[in-house]
Amino acid sequence: MKKMDYVIIGIVIMLGIASIFLLNIENSKMYDSKYAEIYSNNELIKTIYFDENTEKTIEIDNGLGKNSVKIQMGHIHIDEADCPNQICISDGEIQNVGEILVCLPNKVLIEIKGNNKTVVDAISD
Protein backbone atom coordinates (compact mmCIF):
# COMPACT_ATOMS: atom_id res chain seq x y z
CA MET A 1 0.00 0.00 0.00
CA LYS A 2 1.07 3.52 -0.70
CA LYS A 3 1.46 6.31 1.82
CA MET A 4 -1.71 8.02 0.57
CA ASP A 5 -3.73 4.84 1.23
CA TYR A 6 -2.81 5.03 4.91
CA VAL A 7 -3.84 8.69 5.02
CA ILE A 8 -7.24 7.91 3.47
CA ILE A 9 -7.83 4.98 5.84
CA GLY A 10 -6.90 7.19 8.80
CA ILE A 11 -9.32 9.92 7.71
CA VAL A 12 -12.16 7.41 7.26
CA ILE A 13 -11.55 5.94 10.73
CA MET A 14 -11.44 9.40 12.35
CA LEU A 15 -14.70 10.41 10.62
CA GLY A 16 -16.36 7.22 11.86
CA ILE A 17 -15.27 7.81 15.45
CA ALA A 18 -16.32 11.47 15.30
CA SER A 19 -19.78 10.57 13.97
CA ILE A 20 -20.34 8.01 16.75
CA PHE A 21 -19.31 10.61 19.34
CA LEU A 22 -21.66 13.24 17.89
CA LEU A 23 -24.57 10.79 17.73
CA ASN A 24 -24.09 9.94 21.41
CA ILE A 25 -24.14 13.63 22.35
CA GLU A 26 -27.27 14.28 20.30
CA ASN A 27 -28.96 11.15 21.67
CA SER A 28 -28.51 12.28 25.28
CA LYS A 29 -30.02 15.72 24.50
CA MET A 30 -33.27 14.19 23.25
CA TYR A 31 -34.51 13.32 26.76
CA ASP A 32 -35.84 15.64 29.44
CA SER A 33 -34.76 13.33 32.26
CA LYS A 34 -32.55 10.28 32.61
CA TYR A 35 -32.84 7.39 35.01
CA ALA A 36 -30.98 4.19 35.72
CA GLU A 37 -32.61 0.83 36.21
CA ILE A 38 -30.63 -1.62 38.30
CA TYR A 39 -31.37 -5.30 37.87
CA SER A 40 -30.17 -8.15 40.08
CA ASN A 41 -30.88 -11.78 39.16
CA ASN A 42 -33.03 -10.51 36.25
CA GLU A 43 -35.31 -8.55 38.61
CA LEU A 44 -35.61 -4.77 38.74
CA ILE A 45 -34.45 -3.76 42.21
CA LYS A 46 -34.09 0.01 41.89
CA THR A 47 -34.91 2.92 39.59
CA ILE A 48 -32.89 6.09 40.17
CA TYR A 49 -33.48 9.43 38.45
CA PHE A 50 -30.26 11.39 38.20
CA ASP A 51 -28.69 14.55 36.80
CA GLU A 52 -25.40 16.44 37.11
CA ASN A 53 -26.03 17.20 40.81
CA THR A 54 -26.93 13.68 41.98
CA GLU A 55 -24.39 11.96 44.22
CA LYS A 56 -25.39 8.55 45.52
CA THR A 57 -23.89 5.14 46.30
CA ILE A 58 -26.00 1.99 46.11
CA GLU A 59 -24.89 -1.28 47.67
CA ILE A 60 -26.13 -4.50 46.05
CA ASP A 61 -25.83 -7.87 47.79
CA ASN A 62 -27.85 -10.56 46.02
CA GLY A 63 -26.29 -13.70 47.48
CA LEU A 64 -24.04 -14.18 44.42
CA GLY A 65 -21.79 -11.25 45.30
CA LYS A 66 -21.57 -7.64 46.34
CA ASN A 67 -21.43 -4.57 44.10
CA SER A 68 -21.19 -0.89 44.92
CA VAL A 69 -22.70 1.41 42.27
CA LYS A 70 -21.74 5.08 42.36
CA ILE A 71 -23.66 7.93 40.72
CA GLN A 72 -21.70 11.17 40.51
CA MET A 73 -21.79 14.23 38.22
CA GLY A 74 -24.22 12.61 35.77
CA HIS A 75 -22.15 9.41 35.43
CA ILE A 76 -22.70 5.91 36.78
CA HIS A 77 -20.03 3.30 37.41
CA ILE A 78 -19.47 0.17 39.44
CA ASP A 79 -17.10 1.32 42.15
CA GLU A 80 -16.48 -1.99 43.92
CA ALA A 81 -17.27 -5.63 43.19
CA ASP A 82 -16.19 -8.93 44.69
CA CYS A 83 -16.31 -10.79 41.37
CA PRO A 84 -13.05 -12.53 40.38
CA ASN A 85 -12.26 -10.77 37.09
CA GLN A 86 -13.30 -7.15 37.93
CA ILE A 87 -14.29 -6.42 34.31
CA CYS A 88 -17.37 -4.51 35.47
CA ILE A 89 -15.12 -2.02 37.28
CA SER A 90 -12.76 -1.59 34.34
CA ASP A 91 -15.71 -0.92 31.99
CA GLY A 92 -15.73 2.63 33.36
CA GLU A 93 -18.58 5.11 33.45
CA ILE A 94 -21.82 5.38 31.52
CA GLN A 95 -23.91 8.52 31.09
CA ASN A 96 -26.01 8.33 27.91
CA VAL A 97 -29.43 6.79 27.35
CA GLY A 98 -29.04 3.24 26.05
CA GLU A 99 -25.70 2.48 27.70
CA ILE A 100 -25.36 -0.48 30.07
CA LEU A 101 -22.97 -1.90 32.66
CA VAL A 102 -22.94 -5.60 33.49
CA CYS A 103 -21.35 -7.71 36.21
CA LEU A 104 -21.92 -11.24 34.92
CA PRO A 105 -20.66 -13.27 37.88
CA ASN A 106 -22.90 -11.31 40.29
CA LYS A 107 -25.81 -11.05 37.78
CA VAL A 108 -26.07 -7.25 38.06
CA LEU A 109 -27.13 -5.06 35.13
CA ILE A 110 -27.41 -1.26 35.05
CA GLU A 111 -29.16 0.43 32.12
CA ILE A 112 -29.70 4.15 31.48
CA LYS A 113 -33.10 5.09 30.10
CA GLY A 114 -34.81 8.40 29.39
CA ASN A 115 -38.22 10.05 29.72
CA ASN A 116 -40.10 12.51 27.54
CA LYS A 117 -38.24 12.17 24.29
CA THR A 118 -38.28 15.58 22.62
CA VAL A 119 -39.63 15.62 19.09
CA VAL A 120 -37.49 17.66 16.72
CA ASP A 121 -38.88 18.78 13.41
CA ALA A 122 -38.00 21.37 10.78
CA ILE A 123 -39.88 24.13 12.62
CA SER A 124 -38.49 23.58 16.14
CA ASP A 125 -34.94 22.88 15.02
Kindly report, residue by residue over 23-32, the tens digit of the pLDDT.
Answer: 766 555 667 7
Any domain includes 125: no
Kindly report, residue by residue over 9-58, the tens digit of the pLDDT.
Answer: 999 999 999 887 777 665 556 677 889 999 999 999 999 998 888 899 99
Q: For the residues 76-99, what does the mean pLDDT come to?
A: 91
CATH of the domain at 89: 2.60.320.10
Q: Are residues 13 and 37 in the same domain?
A: no
Within a 13 Å sphere around the CA of 65, how many CA atoms are in the beta-carbon half? 16
Of the candidates 70, 81, 78, the one whose C-alpha atom is nearest the C-alpha of residue 101 is 78
Q: Are residues 64 and 38 in the same domain?
A: yes
What band does 80 get if pLDDT is binned at 50, 70 and 90?
very high
Q: Are residues 49 and 24 in the same domain?
A: no
Any domain includes 124: no
Q: According to the model, what pLDDT value does residue 96 have?
A: 85
Domain that holds residue 24: 1-30
What whole-number distance in Å separates Cα of residue 21 and Cα of residue 16?
Answer: 9
Of the candidates 34, 27, 30, 24, the one whose C-alpha atom is nearest the C-alpha of residue 114 is 34
